[in-house]
């Protein structure tokens, strides 16, 4: 998790230095810091209160059309089935680029966005009561996997909008299609049931964000 946040801080520093360098030119049109209000509600509702996830996003508008974007967050909690229980916590980060589709009004503060992300998550987790199929003895014993660590990565295609509502305040939303890239477990380990920032483990996943932000 420390590696992910270190990379995020480095990217944020580079973005801020670049913004200051071009603040008086036609290239740079401001930074927008956004808080996702929907993800915490959706995760709590979907997991019946056992999982929580929070995230922030930061994008920089360049030449009215390009939005380099950094998204970071943290998730924790527990979930599982009747026989297997997952508990874990970890951080995640996404980096990518959005393009503004409003070609007729490129100088408008509003934007219709389409983009891509590369994302990674690092977590510590426990899996308790995992069923292990023993074909030789014809039985199904259970095993606990404690103090496990896992790094997962995935790609995303996103679409959404960003709208200025009053003064420097903005709002917007994203819909995401996520495709998992890490599918194999380490030796003598089991993959976690849940991935911070991605959701429940599957080959693909959908996500939805609703942001409230401040442009500066």
For the chain of 216 residues, list the mean pLDDT of each consecutive stretch of 10: 54 54 67 96 92 96 91 93 88 96 71 96 92 60 88 97 92 97 82 93 95 93
Query: What pLDDT sits at residue 183?
Result: 85
Query: What pLDDT sits at residue 109?
Result: 75
Residue 66's CATH number: 2.40.160.20
Query: Tokens 């917007």 label which residue?
Result: 172
Query: What pLDDT sits at residue 140?
Result: 64
Query: What pLDDT sits at residue 106?
Result: 54
Query: What pLDDT sits at residue 175?
Result: 98
List of E strands, the chain? 28-36, 51-62, 66-80, 85-100, 111-131, 142-166, 169-180, 194-195, 199-200, 204-215
Residue 100 near residue 68 (C-beta atoms within 8 A): no
Dihedral, CA of residue 32, residue 89, residue 7 and residue 12, to nearest 10: 20
Report the domain count for the chain: 1
Alpha helices in 47-83 (DSSP H): none
Domain that holds residue 41: 2-215
């Amino acid at each position: 998790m420390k590696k992910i946040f270190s990379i995020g801080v480095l990217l944020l520093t580079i973005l801020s230095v670049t913004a200051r360098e071009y603040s008086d030119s036609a290239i740079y049109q401001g930074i927008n810091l956004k808080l996702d209000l929907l993800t915490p509600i959706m995760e709590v509702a979907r997991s019946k209160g056992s999982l929580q996830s929070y995230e922030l996003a930061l994008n920089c508008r360049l030449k009215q059309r390009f939005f380099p974007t950094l998204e970071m967050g943290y998730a924790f909690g527990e979930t599982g089935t009747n026989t297997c229980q997952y508990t874990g916590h970890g951080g995640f980060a996404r980096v990518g680029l959005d393009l503004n589709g409003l070609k007729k009004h490129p100088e408008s503060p509003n934007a219709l966005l389409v983009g891509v992300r590369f994302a990674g998550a690092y977590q510590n987790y426990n899996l308790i009561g995992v069923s292990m199929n023993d074909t030789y003895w014809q039985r199904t014993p259970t095993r606990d996997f404690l103090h496990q660590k896992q790094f997962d990565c995935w790609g995303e295609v996103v679409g959404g909008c960003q709208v200025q509502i009053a003064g420097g305040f903005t709002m917007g939303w994203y819909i995401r299609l996520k495709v998992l890239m890490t599918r194999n477990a380490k030796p003598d380990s089991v993959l976690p049931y849940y991935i911070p920032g991605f959701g429940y483990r599957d080959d693909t996943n959908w996500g939805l964000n609703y942001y409230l932000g401040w442009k500066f």
